[in-house]
Amino acid sequence: MEIRHLASDDLDAVLDIRRRAFGPLSGSGADTWRKLVSPMLPEGRYLGAFDGTRLVGAARINPYVQWWHGRPLSMGGVAGVTVSPEDRGRGVGRALTAAAVERCAQLGHAVSALYPATTPLYRKAGYEHAGVFQRITVPAEALRTLGDPGAAVKLRRMGPADAAELVALIGRVHTATRASGPLCFDERTWRLWLEDDDDFCYLAEDGFVVYRWSDGDIEVDNLLARSEATARALWSLVGSASTVAKSVTAYVDPADPVLWMLRERSKDEVAQTRWMFRLIDLPAAVEGRGFPAGVSIEAPLVVTDPQREANTGTWVLRVNGGSGFVTREAGEAGEATRLTIGGMSALFAGVSTATLRRAGLLTGGSPEADDALDAAFGCAAYMIDYF
């Protein structure tokens, strides 16, 4: 089996194995998919596994920015991992995932994330469960009444020409709110999404919304706002369809302010999908991540990463003034906290040391070290985009 970069001539074969593995795309869906992936081909972002000349599997690495405590990191979003049905059980998926990790490193991504169809495959490659993709369902009428007529928030329709402004806005909001986990597409991808006539897109000075009709109700893909006034204006815009739509489903931060704005909230209707996360370049990821400004720690760590030896070894983590870095130390540190790369990735994403210790992903160290690590990395990681 050979793994190599795919070219445009391979896309029909990719669509064929995708259809056999997951069901067919509609005609328009296939056209959109081609527009999405074609610019990635010359960048070496689509990997194919071949048995001779026959394509037996494929995996794509999407170019994203992901925020961690308000600071952006280059993230490789692994998606479209597909193996033809007759080639399952041959290790194709495992080989593709390992190749995707290495390609993420070559592309300069400090971290990687994915939505797993199966956990064991990705866990063996160093990914671990990290955050949530949460959907809430609320009555449309409850949103309609959130608006404040006196706030005078200006909203305008948004289209492909607004992609650059939208990317900048997303960065400002995630930085200001010290968000952990959400991502942003690049401009060319946003231009493609903003061309969809089925979506209704509105932009404010410090927020935006993308929503659509779905079986007589409303589905919100994205709604992000920096201020209370803009959040109320955008949610009430969505809720203004309440004479027709009875409910609104929305993908939101589990701590989205709208849940505290609703007049009546006694029971949440929530569905969660988990995503997995992996550190690709440990020093770059720590240096690029944000940390709480009031936390100052120094802690020895021993990390084991069988696939990426550059991450393996004894490190000293130092965090101070909102920034952090790790330096490599020679030899073993007797009192160090010891983590698998999956455990280190989960810790980076805010999973508590108590959870990691009981799951067997963290050993050694001390209660004091655990508290310090929790103070540095603690967060509730989330995404509002599926890929």
Looking at residue 268, its pLDDT comes to 87
Edge to edge, the sheet with strand 323-329 lists 323-329, 313-320, 297-304, 337-340, 362-364
281-377: same fold as 134-274? no
- Output the six-digit token pair for 353: 């040391």
Looking at residue 333, its pLDDT comes to 67
Residue boundaries of the structural domains of the chain: 2-126, 134-274, 281-377
* Residue labelled with tokens 């103070």: 375
pLDDT block averages, 10 residues each, the chain of length 387: 97 95 89 96 98 97 98 98 95 97 98 96 97 97 90 94 98 98 97 96 98 97 97 97 96 96 91 98 98 97 97 97 95 85 98 98 97 98 97
- Output the six-digit token pair for 228: 């209370």
Looking at residue 330, its pLDDT comes to 81
pLDDT digits (tens, 9 = 90+) for 247-286: 999 999 999 999 999 999 888 899 999 999 999 999 999 9
Looking at residue 257, its pLDDT comes to 96
Looking at residue 137, its pLDDT comes to 97
Best CATH choice for the domain 281-377 from the list 3.40.50.620, 1.10.3720.10, 1.20.1730.10, 3.30.1050.10: 3.30.1050.10
Number of alpha helices (DSSP H) and beta strands (DSSP E) in the chain: 13, 19
What's the topology of domain 2-126? Aminopeptidase (3.40.630)
Question: In the 8-state DSSP scheme, what is residue 110?
Answer: S
Looking at residue 323, its pLDDT comes to 98
Whether the Cβ atoms of residue 359 and residue 347 lie closer than 8 Å to each other:
no
* Residue labelled with tokens 């990691």: 356
pTM listed for this prediction: 0.95
Q: DSSP 3-state assignment of 72?
A: strand
Looking at residue 191, its pLDDT comes to 97
Whether the Cβ atoms of residue 209 and residue 222 lie closer than 8 Å to each other:
yes
CA angle 209, 33, 82 (to 5 degrees): 115
* Architecture of the structural domain at 134-274: 3-Layer(aba) Sandwich (3.40)
CA angle 255, 291, 109 (to 5 degrees): 90
